[in-house]
Amino acid sequence: MARKPFGSVKMAFEGAGHRIAISDIQPLKLVSSAVKKTPKYAQIVASIGQVGVVEPPVVARDRKARGKYLLLDGHLRIEALKDMGETEVVCLISTDDEAFTYNKRVNRLAIIQEHRMILKAVERGVSEERIAKALNVDVGNIKRKRRLLEGICVEAADILKDKHVAIHTFAELKKLAPLRQIEAAELMVAMNKYTISYAKSLVAATPQSQFAEGYKPKAIKGLSEDQISLMERESANLEREFRIAEQSYGTDHLDLVLANGYIGKLLENARIVRYLAQHQKEILLEFQKLAEVQAAAA
């Protein structure tokens, strides 16, 4: 049997963007009049009017109608273009036409994605003032987002690229050396916590040797150097234990599901229940508790 060449990867999109007639694009959900009255919709209309469509809508070819497309992502952008009298739009054509699966994986615009869009707009000659006007925000906000990744290593930025991270969290990460930034980013993803308070806790638990060059942490009032060192060691131990638990979590969870299923089958057998009630009441009680928890979680 001929094997597929090693390293062969199916492309998610058909090359570069394609200009498509809006009339040939079939939305998969309706944009109500109520949605059009929201600040978000007004912001999209203003943004397109000022800088154009920065993030192309995503479509898939309609297998039942040649030359037609299904709209997977970008319903508000398409609706705004229609209201503005536009007849064509540049789209990305996805090779996967399963909209539910696609939309399930699409996150709303993460801050790093927003940062890159701002950089792209600036590279095209759009001023920060114009971007701020288009998004109806203070120009200082745009400047902060443009400088978002200054001092952040590439690897850490890649880990957090599609996460909804608080903007001030990056200010905390910049206090760390590159390797520690990567560790902190991985911990944030593992814990699904991207808040400024969690970032500060990671910085507080960082040894002096892992801070960014030139950064000197402020002394924590009420704690001696020995106590701070103890906190750092305990934090490091906790991180190691968490990673060990994370590695076995999938297998442990599968074992638990199978065990619960087996216990459920046992309790459906009247003879087994009767025997346990007569000879092993404590075990029967625990089995019933497990079954109740499983039923409540279903």
- Alpha-carbon span 191 to 242, nearest angstrom: 10
Average pLDDT over residues 87-106: 66
10 by Cβ neighbours in 10 Å (0-12 / 13-18 / 19+) ranks as exposed
| pTM (two decimals) | 0.48
Please write the tens of the pLDDT for every residue from 49-71. 877 887 889 898 888 888 899 99
Question: Across-strand partners of 40?
Answer: none
For position 100, what pLDDT does the model report? 41
- DSSP string covering 27-86: ESS---HHHHTSHHHHHHHHHHHHH--SS--EEEE-TTSTT-EEEEE-HHHHHHHHHTT-
Among 28, 86, 22, 20, residue whose Cα is nearest residue 52 = 86
For position 79, what pLDDT does the model report? 93
- 277, 284 Cβ separation under 8 angstroms: yes
How many residues can be counted in the chain? 298
User: What's the whole-number average pLDDT of the chain?
Assistant: 81
Domains of the chain (ranges plus CATH)?
Answer: 18-105 (3.90.1530.10), 225-297 (no CATH)
Average pLDDT over residues 281-286: 87
Please write the tens of the pLDDT for every residue from 269-280. 888 888 888 888
Please write the tens of the pLDDT for every residue from 13-46. 676 678 999 999 998 888 888 889 888 888 888 8
For position 24, what pLDDT does the model report? 94
pLDDT at 132 > cutoff 50 = yes
